[in-house]
Amino acid sequence: MEETLNILKDIKLVIDTAIVLVEHPGDGENKKKKVIEIVNDFIKSNNVVVPIPMMIFNYILGMVIDWTVKWLNSNMWNKDEKKLSK
């Protein structure tokens, strides 16, 4: 169980890093596809065994990306833009 949690923690770190790397204004769906591609490449190149079927994993991955971007928009990225426009 601990190994599974460590794998998921590592994958979440890759997700967060990929989101920041692909960030630019607009083009949300293409950015999301790129993050999914980066995460799947990481999994394949490091021989990571995901504890659930990849189809389900990629579905959950899409939701995690959406939630993470929503949080970043609310708490980090858009705050800077709001400050600059005042």
**Confidence band for 85, pLDDT divided at 50, 70 and 90:** low
Give the pLDDT confidence of 16-36 residue by residue, as tens digits: 999 999 998 889 899 999 999
0.95 exceeded by pTM: no
* Residue 34 burial by Cβ neighbours in a 10 Å radius (0-12, 13-18, 19+): middle
Q: What pLDDT was estimated at residue 81?
A: 54
Identify how many contiguous H helices and E strands the chain contains and give both numbers: 4, 0
Q: What pLDDT was estimated at residue 79?
A: 61
Question: Which residue's entry shows tokens 């979440």?
Answer: 12
